[in-house]
Amino acid sequence: CHRPVQKAGGEENWFFKLSEFQEPLLKFYEENPDFIRPETRKNEVVTFVKSGLKDLSISRSTFDWGVPLPFDEGHVAYVWADALLAYLTGIGYGDEQRAGEFEQRWPMQYHFVGKDITRFHCVIWPAMLMAAGLPITHTVFGHGFLLTKGEKMSKSKGNGMKPADLVKIFGVDAYRYYFMSDVQFGHDGNISMERMVQVYNADLANTWGNLCSRVFNMTNKYFDGKVPAVPADAAERVANPMLPIVEQLYTKYDACMSQVDFTGAAAAVQELAGRVNLYVEESAPWNLAKKEETQGDLAAVIYNALEAIRIIALYMAPFMPNTSNEVFDRLSLGKVTDVVDVEGATKWGQLPAGNTVTVGDPLFPRLNMDEIQIEE
């Protein structure tokens, strides 16, 4: 804030003996290499701990607002002592009536925090848990900041972007998709309206949304809005270039999601969506529909495209749950968000023949940058 620093007078504090946990913490980091992620955050924390830890002041006595210490009512708890404890008390720790809830929920698998507070969550917090004899969170993930034109968002600079304004333009699903696919989680992300529109039109309007529209329309036109049954000879004769991609996709997708690499997971699904669009162009179902002898091949092509759409919707669900539910509804499949076994559900060939296919409105109408307006 550029105001002059004023040295405060002394006060009596209670301290947590953080200095005694330097070696236990370093040992814990070594034995649990995935505790701090990404790697850059881990290196920062380990270097900080190796430089030496001092005992931590956990109380204040010069004011009376705050949470009183139960063992000394003349002191209130330092915010980074009582705030960290809220992770436990919020899920029933210390409450006999909620003991079962605490046992079920702790320790958590992932704790997501901003990169500027990793020391509190990766040094002070695990030391407090060690002192209390409690298990420690499996992984703390320190994510980056969102920047506009390389700068932090600031009210004084007027370069902030309000989520509510962006949702009005893109819709909540496309908003979610952009920040999970184009901004590498764990790093600072440089965002702009121009880039958001570019990703929206390329990935959603032109690829995913366009694929659904054209295939649903052709299903309606050529098969009266029903998933076609594929003759056995056509199934053997008509090539299915999506199948090898689908057979490898779960492994690739699962590895990315397990590493909190949302960008990689989204890219893997978009690879399949792009291949289905190309498949439609290569197969030219509009030409197959002109001849009686190629009706079986037409059924195989449309079925393959519809089945690929079903699988894409399943993989897109964590990014765009509303859109995936809409696609499943148009395929008469219920709710995609009810699916529990994603690996099993994404195996090829599970779309029932005869299901009604509804065309509906375009999922992602194209956006024109020149026509976008944000209310002041």
What is the residue extent of each domain of the chain?
A: 15-143, 193-371
Question: What residues contact 212, with CB distance under 8 A and at least 6 apart?
Answer: 309, 327, 330, 363
Q: Could you read off the pLDDT of 91-105 as tens digits, one per residue?
A: 999 998 888 999 999
Which CATH number applies to 193-371: 1.10.730.10, 3.10.450.50, 3.30.365.10, 3.40.50.2300?
1.10.730.10
Contact between 297 and 240 under an 8 Å Cβ cutoff? The reply is: no
Give me the residue label for tokens 């759409």. 309
Q: Cα separation of 315 and 270, whole Å?
A: 10
Q: Cα separation of 165 and 96, whole Å?
A: 44
Look at residue 146 in the predicted model and tell me its pLDDT. Answer: 84
Domain 15-143 listed as CATH 3.90.1150.10? no
- CA torsion angle for 225, 209, 331, 176 (degrees, to 10)? -160
Does residue 204 surpass a pLDDT of 70?
Answer: yes
Q: First CA to last CA across the chain, in angstroms?
A: 26
Q: Which two tokens stand for residue 30?
A: 């070594």
Q: Could you read off the pLDDT of 137-183 as tens digits, one per residue?
A: 999 999 988 888 777 777 767 777 888 989 999 999 999 999 999 98
Look at residue 188 in the predicted model and tell me its pLDDT. Answer: 86
Does residue 376 surpass a pLDDT of 50?
Answer: no
H-helix segments, 51-155:
79-89, 99-105, 118-119, 125-132
pTM (two decimals): 0.85
Q: Could you read off the pLDDT of 4-57 as tens digits, one per residue?
A: 998 877 889 999 999 999 999 999 999 999 999 999 999 999 999 999 999 999
Which of 341, 166, 177 minimizes the C-alpha distance to 273?
Answer: 177
Q: Cα separation of 199 and 270, whole Å?
A: 12
